[in-house]
Amino acid sequence: MGRIVVCIKGVPKPGTVKVDKETHTLRRESAELILNPPDRSALEVALRLKDQANFEVIAISMGPPNMVPVLQKVYALGVDDIYLISDKAFAGSDTLATSRILARALSLLSPFDLVIMGARSIDGETGQVPPETASLLNLPSITYVKELRFVDGKFIAIREDDFGEEEIEFPSPAVVSITPEIDYVRPPSLKRLLSLKDVNPKVLTNAELNLDEADIGLSGSPTQVADVFEKTLVSRGEIFEGEPDELAEKLIEILKEKGFLA
């Protein structure tokens, strides 16, 4: 039986997040956390492989203690085991520090056939963690996969980019990130929901991961968040009138001025 590890993230429920004024990072421990929506797609892909070929599916998440209810709900979707990667020393990690932490946790959970993640999170939206984690583990990285097939013991990824669709056969283990929009995600199981209070994630702290303080948390983050704010859209526009030829010329001038055209 093969093993798939799905890395999931808890993101603040839109409208409930507060920003720490000093560090400019999200105060995750006080926010109401929900499962990052693209990770639901990632879990669905993993669970379909479990249905098809009996893979063991483990869900892991780096986050504060208030991630536990989110992980419990993930258990209700049908995964075999849940892990919380949590330590005060991890707080404030940017995508690179996070990737180091996840890579170390994944190495403790090896051997595995696949690591699956959502392509990006709805709070950071960088999409960097899956390829960074793959790189740190020295594994192939395939991003924005919309469908994952397992045929005759081989994995095939169908990914979509701006130019069309491509089919990639890849060796395992590998790190795959799943595009947010897949056709169908399953609901939780009532049987599991009824017994959730008895289900707790296994916890891995830095005592188990044994990472250098310089590589994790705020101190291990080469990127710093300058600010997090809710963007308000101010409508600004100009209306030009004239003949189509003149207007086209005018438009090209404006686009050049603004640096959109060379």
**At its nearest, how many Å lie between other proteins and the CB of residue 185?**
8
Q: Which is nearer to other proteins, 122 or 218 (CB)?
A: 122
Residues that bind other proteins (CB under 8 A): 184, 186-191, 193-194
Distance CA 61, CA 69 (A): 12
| Residue among 180 and 188 whose Cβ is closer to other proteins | 188
**Minimum CB distance to other proteins, residue 193 (Å):** 5
Q: Provide CB contacts within 8 A for 8, sequence distance 6+.
A: 35, 36, 39, 42, 43, 59, 60, 61, 70, 71, 74, 117, 118
Q: Which is nearer to other proteins, 13 or 186 (CB)?
A: 186
Nearest residue to 122 (alpha-carbon basis) of 12, 202, 20, 259: 12
The smaller minimum CB distance to other proteins, of residues 88 and 186, is found at 186
Rounded to a whole number of angstroms, the minimum distance from the CB of residue 218 to other proteins is: 37
Coil, helix or strand at residue 44: helix
Cβ-based burial of 58 (10 A; exposed 0-12, middle 13-18, buried ≥19): buried
- Residue 64 CB, shortest distance to other proteins, in Å, is 25
Cβ proximity to other proteins: between 43 and 174 the closer is 43
Rounded-to-integer distance, Cα 242 and Cα 202, Å: 68
CB of 179 to other proteins, least distance (A): 19
